Amino acid sequence: MNLQVFNRLTRQKEDFKPLVEGQVKMYVCGPTVYDHAHLGHAKTYVAFDVIVRYLRYLGYKVRYVQNITDVGHLLDTGEDRILKKAGALSLEPMEVVETYTHSYFDDMDALGVVRPDISPRASGHVPEQITMTQGLIEKKHAYVTREGDVYFDVTTFPEYGKLSGQNLDELVGGKRVEVAEGKRHAADFALWRHAEPEHLMQWDSPWGRGFPGWHIECSAMAARYLGETFDIHGGGLENRFPHNECEIAQSEALTGKPFANYWLLTGSLTVDGVKMSKSLGNFVTIKDALKIYQPEALRLFILSSHYSSPVDYSDAALKATQSGWERLMGAVRLVRYTRQNASEGDAAAGFEAVLDEHKARFAAAMDDDFNAPAAIGVLYDLNREVNTLLNSGETIGRPILDSIEQVYHKLGGDVLGIIPDEITETGTDAARQDGLIRFLIEMRADARARKDFAAADNIRNRLVDLGVMLEDRADGTVYKLQ
RNA sequence: GGCGACGUAGCCAAGUGGUAAGGCAGAGGUCUGCAAAACCUCCAUUCACCGGUUCGAAUCCGGUCGUCGCCUCCA
């Protein structure tokens, strides 16, 4: 079976055919770095992470570009969100950008999200954005106002609205947007804005000092690194209009070619049914969530719903997922443990057929528009088979255990990122270690009180082997770590 | 008001024409010194509701109700 994807542009499931056989060029709208990332970001980027991982698993050579927005993204008050933050913290705008870019990558690394191949910054691609804007003016798709703003003229692009199903006539009302000075049409959007002298991020342009509009960066950077037409454009569903729509309009008006062939958009993460967002204040940062839950459990939670569906966050749902994940890991742990002392030979080799069947079902699920929830179901089915085998009392040869481990490694690890190669136990921390050592010291004290010195010495010697030195004092026993 | 989704067991969730995956929780059982873990069995005659198409509908069509997203910054 071949990979099929639901293309938001055509609203149908289509066979996936990249422009160049064996290669995939993919762009995903990245974050605006003015604050720490929250679980909503985690949902989007974990979803695309698995899409990229699966494409690579299938053998595609993927170039994954995800931008960092560090300029031009304005609040509805007209303030630049990064400048606002910089003002509040008395920092250079680029200090804000650095801080939250690092924070974002730290969070993504912690979640096991594979880094994009290119993470271009908007501020580093102003010349490209200016060139593109000039091209649009030359082609009469954009106009310059007296103030030095440049707007895209939506009436020159009849397909405007094709991604979101919006109709220009219905947008005309502009009832909720105050039409900016100099705009010809309420739906026209800024490619370039003039800057007042006190505005901290500004560049020279043919239209005077200013800064790029928000939408143009994605078009410019996608073209720069992926070409005028590329395979997959991804992002959160909430950016479909106006952001994605504007990207299409700019790029296609300029090149006359399709911008992206497949549009994959992710559903939002909600809390009590309402979208998690900065503006609503109902967000949980990734850092806070990782204090409570294993990163793999968070990924599993996100991947338990299809990428295009919304996910509702709650502690109860996360806890249920964590329980399920721990059961999954129980079998993985048992396989690894059994493997240590397994003998060579083909005992239980018949299980190979079970593995093949589950691998095929897993691939069939993922081939169907990256259906991770169904693929996870297959993993649970396999888990039951593995547990049954390992608890059957049969001898199991090392080769088959290696094969099982390989399946976990590839499907659960490489593709979904929910089964780590090394299992770090929850709460393996200094406090727990200290408690365990103290407990052993107590057991040794009991043994000494019974004059069972063999047992007491055994405890002490075993601890020494583990690098824990005991010292008896008049008032008790202390330990130090080597 | 316009555009777009969604409504499947106590909870989460897959399934888009052929007779309801999987997970969590729960009940019973096997195993076990006791636990834990694991496994087995049970847990939706039914997919918001009402009509229609069809040999056959959770899936297609029409309507009703409800929830959400976008239309204004958001992944």
Q: DSSP assignment of A131-142, as one string?
A: HHHHHHHHTTSE
Residues A345, A340: Cα–Cα separation, whole Å? 14
Q: Which nucleotide is nearest to A384 (CA to C1')?
A: B39
- In angstroms, the CA of A318 and the C1' of B12 are apart by 9
Residue A391 DSSP one-character state:
T
- In angstroms, the CA of A381 and the C1' of B41 are apart by 17
Q: Which nucleotide is nearest to A372 (CA to C1')?
A: B14
Q: Which nucleotide is nearest to A31 (CA to C1')?
A: B75
Residues A308, A473: Cα–Cα separation, whole Å? 64
Enumerate the nucleotides of strand B whose atoms come under 7 Å of any protein CB: 1-6, 11-16, 21-25, 37-40, 67-75
Q: Terminal CA-to-CA distance of chain A, rounded, Å?
A: 56
Cβ atoms of A69 and A30 within 8 Å: the answer is yes
Checking DSSP bridges between strand A142-144 and strand A150-152, what pairing results, if any?
Answer: antiparallel
Distance of CA A217 to CAs A108, A222, A262, A356, A447, Å? 22, 8, 19, 45, 71
- In angstroms, the CA of A38 and the C1' of B59 are apart by 36
Closest CA to A234 of A24, A10, A28: A28
- Specify whether the backbone of A430 is left (phi greater than 0), alpha (psi in -120 to 50) or beta: alpha
Residue nearest to nucleotide B6 (CA to C1'): A309
- In angstroms, the CA of A308 and the C1' of B18 are apart by 27
Q: Provide φ and ψ at A370, rounded to 5°.
A: 55, 55
Closest CA to A365 of A376, A355, A356, A357: A376
pLDDT, position A274: 81
Interface ipTM above 0.90? yes
Q: Which nucleotide is nearest to A41 (CA to C1')?
A: B75
What is the enclosing helix (H) or strand (E) of A7? strand A4-7
What is the enclosing helix (H) or strand (E) of A23? strand A23-28
CB environment A149-176: b (16+ within 10 A), e (fewer)? bbbbbbebbeebbebbebebeebeeeee
Residues A394, A392: Cα–Cα separation, whole Å? 5
Residue nearest to nucleotide B5 (CA to C1'): A309
pLDDT less than 70: residues of chain A: 1, 72-73, 76-78, 170-180, 424-429, 475, 482
- In angstroms, the CA of A137 and the C1' of B74 are apart by 29
pLDDT, position A278: 80
Q: Note the pLDDT tens digit of each residue in A35-89.
A: 999 999 999 999 999 999 999 999 999 999 999 999 866 776 667 888 888 988 9
Residue nearest to nucleotide B73 (CA to C1'): A75
Q: Which nucleotide is nearest to A30 (CA to C1')?
A: B75
Residues A350, A27: Cα–Cα separation, whole Å? 43
- In angstroms, the CA of A310 and the C1' of B63 are apart by 27
Cβ atoms of A242 and A189 within 8 Å: the answer is yes
Checking DSSP bridges between strand A210-212 and strand A12-15, what pairing results, if any?
Answer: unpaired
- Please tell me the total number of residues recorded for chain A in this structure: 482
pLDDT, position A394: 84
Cβ atoms of A48 and A54 within 8 Å: the answer is no
- In angstroms, the CA of A376 and the C1' of B38 are apart by 20
User: For residue A54, what are its two tokens?
Assistant: 């699966």
Residues A35, A279: Cα–Cα separation, whole Å? 12
- Residue A357, SS3 per DSSP: helix
Q: Provide φ and ψ at A124, rounded to 5°.
A: -90, 0
CA angle A38, A43, A45 (to 5 degrees): 95
- In angstroms, the CA of A394 and the C1' of B39 are apart by 15
Please tell us whether the domain made up of A287-415 is placed in CATH 1.20.1740.10: no
- In angstroms, the CA of A118 and the C1' of B70 are apart by 29
CB environment A407-446: b (16+ within 10 A), e (fewer)? bbeebbbebbbbbbeeeeeeeeeeeeeeeebeebbeebee
**Assigned CATH topology for domain A4-266:** Rossmann fold (3.40.50)
Could you tell me which residues come within 8 angstroms of residue A304 by beta carbon, excluding any fewer than 6 positions away? A311, A321, A372, A373, A376
Distance of alpha carbon A325 from the chain centroid: 19
Q: Which nucleotide is nearest to A333 (CA to C1')?
A: B37
**CB neighbourhood size of A36 (10 A):** 18
- In angstroms, the CA of A312 and the C1' of B66 are apart by 17
Closest CA to A299 of A399, A379, A208, A219: A379
Residue nearest to nucleotide B2 (CA to C1'): A170
Q: Which nucleotide is nearest to A301 (CA to C1')?
A: B12
Q: Break chain A into its structural domains and give their ranges.
A: 4-266, 287-415, 430-481
- Residue A436, SS3 per DSSP: helix
Residue with tokens 């169904």: A374
**CB neighbourhood size of A206 (10 A):** 12
Q: Which nucleotide is nearest to A43 (CA to C1')?
A: B75
